[in-house]
Amino acid sequence: GGSAGGGSGSGSGGGAPGRSVSLEVDAVHALLTRHNLSLAHLLPHAEVWIGQGADTIPRLAEDLGEGSVIFAFMDHRGTRF
């Protein structure tokens, strides 16, 4: 999965300006990540989108605007992004 509970997002997005968006293929991991971000009081600064990378990556520009992504961290499990 991409978010794996929110550890990377909590550590890298906590002090960064703007918003952090995590793309997660596994709905259970996404829910766990949202919960952990809530506990860390980071939900105002973070989102977790559920779906395959091929479907969610184009949404970044559509929903957040061109040039809105300044950093991307991609993790994978097998061949699924």
Measured between alpha carbons, how far is 54 from 31 in angstroms, rounded to an integer? 20
Neighbours of 73 (CB within 10 A): 11
pLDDT, residue 81, reads: 55
Residues forming beta bridges with residue 77, ordered by sequence position: 80
pLDDT, residue 1, reads: 43
Please list the rounded mean pLDDT of every run of 10 residues in the chain (81 residues). Answer: 50 61 90 93 90 88 83 66 55
Q: How far is CA 36 from the centre of its chain?
A: 12
